[in-house]
Structure 1
Amino acid sequence: MSKDQSGSSKRRKADSGLAINVSVPKPDTGASTPVFGLFPTSQPPAKTPFSIYTKSGALPNPKHPEPTVLAAETAEMEYESRNQMGVGMGGGQGESAGEGAGYSVQYMLGVHDPSANTLTLHAAPLHSFAPSIKSLKKFSSDSSAAELFSAQRATLGLAFGTKKAQRQLNAQERNKLNNESYGTGIASASLQSLLQSSIAASSSSLPTSIDVEHAANLSRPTIPPPNFDAVKPNDVYSISDVVTPSELATIDLGPLLSAPTFKDLNALLPFRRSKFISSHLRRLIPSRSSVEGSIPDPSKRDREKLNLVVHLSQLFAFRQATMGGRDSALERTKLQEKMTGASPAVVSALLERYTESQRMGNGEERRKMTGTTELKLLGYMLVVALKIDSWSTDVGVLAGDLGIGSKRVGELFRSLGCSLVTPSAEDCEKLIATRAAANKAEARKSKTAVLRTPLEFPKERRGAPKR
């Protein structure tokens, strides 16, 4: 066995039977040594140059071993070893050196020289690479770039800004919050516990989303106050919230019942161009006897509906006279004249309920129809119609009487909690028989608004509308 000056050697026999000198040289300071690279994903081109450096950025020193990093880059990718293996240029000796570098074994690279029959082993640390794409690095550094821009702007403001701007920058700097803004250690922990307990105590008294929704529906100005606990549709809306009993008591049914013909009867109404009102008058007032002087005598229930039909006619006439934002205060007398049969008390009640007060510069008070009060008038009219129709009424008929589209009237019915139902085959035949629809296609397009219990209002749409 022989030993040279550069390191130790051992003699082994080659395949030919001759002994092979094995040596493990110690690299000189600054000398390059081989390394192993592991690329689990993408590999760089074969001629890509790599650089080795320590965490401090200095070149490795075999006398002072420390973890090293191997790095390279191409036009599109960056390669950097993440495990920071390898100790110095020689990789260190012994198991403890390898373990301190982050791995439990040493890798050696052997170089065989056939002419001299020698095998030289060089320490070759293993570097595991995690490549990164250059074009994606800018997205991960947006926050740091924004902070740098903010700091640079603050520096310029403090150096060249006005006194007011400098005061604002100083105030912003003082008001910045960090991990130590509310103390450290026990003080910070106790404050955190206090905040959590106070938030829990305060949030326990907050109403639920259902309570908030019910409160909002109860306070909606365009519909009567609903009863969410109603079991029957007749109990959802109280008709006294729409029209008071004293207003209904002013309606005199005698002239209507004693009218000789339906044309004379219709002439006594405030509004005479409503198919809905005409059809219900024909149903509620029985056919006159052939005996001269015979006056129909409807039942108590039919008289109650007749009062509501006449009140609905008053609402139609009131809407026609005040729609479009007309000033109703100066036309009170004309309004009384247009609303045939309506008492002054009823006209005053309608003005109070469906218009808003405005005080002029001369101190005079005027009442005016606004967008909100017009919606309220429409909502209350539909409630009266539903009450007359036993909470199931045709949308198209009322849309024609109101002079607005069926879609909008359907939305108004939905706002009252109604469901829009498509007529069945039997209902379509009835519509054609009563001439409410000209054919089956038109009958299928018609909708019926039905109020059901438990009461449900349409949910509020959230998010951006679909395009």
Structure 2
Amino acid sequence: MAKAEPQTGDKRSAEASPEQEVNAGEPAQKKQNVYAAARKSLGSAFGTRKAQNIQRTRESNVIDTTHLGGVMSHLVARVNAEAESVPSKESIQAKQDALRPVPPYNLAADAVEDVYPLTSLILPAESEAMKQVISVLKKSTEETSRTSLLPYRRSRYVNSRLQRTFDVPEGEKVDSKRLRLIYMASLLMGLYHNKRWASDKEKLSEKLNGPPPALLESIVARFTQNGSIDNRGSDRLLTHLFALALFLDYFSTELKTLQEDLSLRPPQIATLFKEMGCTVAPITETQRLVSGLTKSEARSVKRAVLKTPLTFPAPKRGGPVKR
């Protein structure tokens, strides 16, 4: 019997190349495949019915991986595309800020009086329209006659600010700018209380003590939609009113009187002021003493303070405050 001759050749032939190392497992895999095919053939020919059923079940559950590479690349590309389309935290915040029911604001304002520009609270055309009524108001000498000129005469908040505006030293002029703020605040408060008449300008004018027609026309156009004021429009109306109040109170407004004038619950008015970027907190001990309130009375009194830089609160998961 002939002896097998030893293999000869280049020493490097005995060393596996990188490609051979990668494919080293292929012969073993092929053997397994051949074995599986033979077992399947024998099972189909000689196996019991139960064994054949098991074999068919296995075959039906086998996943064809032939095209999985293409599917995976498609899924990866789709995930990457969707990830790129996901808005950033900054863009989400900017969108939320734009949807806030607040007057036009200036995020870059350094001075607090520039946060909510007066020209966005009282438009130039509106200021022009109220010139005559402000002139008449300025000449009124009695408190009752002044109050009778306001669009809404039952507001303790507005009436008290009107009285303070006229409490000036003899010979000093009454501030016309403050009178415009007060008149507009009274008009907005009156519109809030008479929302049901928003589509009937004649009736609304009667309810609001006959304000200048051009002024009423402008206000109705700004705060109504299709002849009515919805919840969002109502919030916008209130925040415009509150911005006027901040100007009148030097950007530190006590909430209780406004809350009672507007029949709002404490969380409602506090939330709207916070939406405007204000901090809402109890009055300080010094403010309590100046106001002449007892400590128990002071517990229910809070102030909204506007400062710069303007920052808005992060949205809450609980949703809007219930009305």
TM-score over 0.5 (shorter chain): yes
Paired residues in the alignment total: 257
2:222 to 346, 353, 357: 353
In the TM superposition, what whole-angstrom CA distance separates every residue of 1:348-383 from its partner, at most 9, and x where no partner exists? Answer: 1222122221xxxxxxxxx12333322221122112
In the TM superposition, what whole-angstrom CA distance separates every residue of 1:153-180 from its partner, at most 9, and x where no partner exists? Answer: xxxxxxxxxxxxxxxxxxxxxxxx9964
Find the aligned partners of 2:97 and 2:298 in 1 and give their Cα distance: 33
The answer to whether residue 163 in structure 2 is matched with residue 282 in structure 1 is yes
Task: Determine if contact 1:431/1:443 at 8 Å carries over to the other structure.
Answer: no
How many angstroms does 1:336 deviate by?
Answer: 1.7
Structure 1 unaligned segments of length 5 or more: list them. Answer: 1-176, 358-366
1:316 to 165, 189, 195: 189
Find the aligned partners of 2:152 and 2:317 in 1 and give their Cα distance: 41
2:309 to 454, 458, 462: 454
SS at match of 1:340: coil
Alignment-mate amino acid for residue 224 of structure 1: P
Matches within 5 A, 1:265-344: 265-287=146-168, 289=170, 297-298=173-174, 302-322=175-195, 326-329=196-199, 331-340=200-209, 342-344=211-213
Alignment-mate amino acid for residue 84 of structure 2: S
Cα distance change of structure 1 residues 179 and 385 upon mapping to structure 2, 3 Å threshold: farther
Rg bigger for which structure?
A: 1
SS at match of 2:253: strand
Query: Larger strand proportion, structure 1 or 2?
Result: 1
Find the aligned partners of 1:178 and 1:343 in 2 and give their Cα distance: 82
1 or 2 for the larger relative contact order (CA 8 Å, sep ≥6)?
A: 2
Q: TM-score, normalised by structure 1?
A: 0.50
The answer to whether residue 110 in structure 2 is matched with residue 231 in structure 1 is yes
- 2:277 corresponds in structure 1 to 417
How many angstroms does 1:308 deviate by?
Answer: 1.0
Alignment-mate amino acid for residue 200 of structure 1: N
Alignment-mate amino acid for residue 180 of structure 2: N
Task: Determine if contact 1:219/1:225 at 8 Å carries over to the other structure.
Answer: no
Structure 2 unaligned segments of length 5 or more: list them. Answer: 1-60
Task: Determine if contact 2:254/2:301 at 8 Å carries over to the other structure.
Answer: yes
SS at match of 1:204: helix
Query: Larger helix proportion, structure 1 or 2?
Result: 2
- 1:112 corresponds in structure 2 to none
In the TM superposition, what whole-angstrom CA distance separates every residue of 1:262-308 from its partner, at most 9, and x where no partner exists? Answer: 2221111111222222232233224474xxxx7x523xxx3222211
The answer to whether residue 244 in structure 2 is matched with residue 371 in structure 1 is no
Task: Determine if contact 1:270/1:313 at 8 Å carries over to the other structure.
Answer: yes
How many angstroms does 1:234 deviate by?
Answer: 2.4
Find the aligned partners of 1:392 and 1:339 in 2 and give their Cα distance: 28
2:258 to 388, 398, 414: 398
Cα distance change of structure 1 residues 268 and 192 upon mapping to structure 2, 3 Å threshold: same
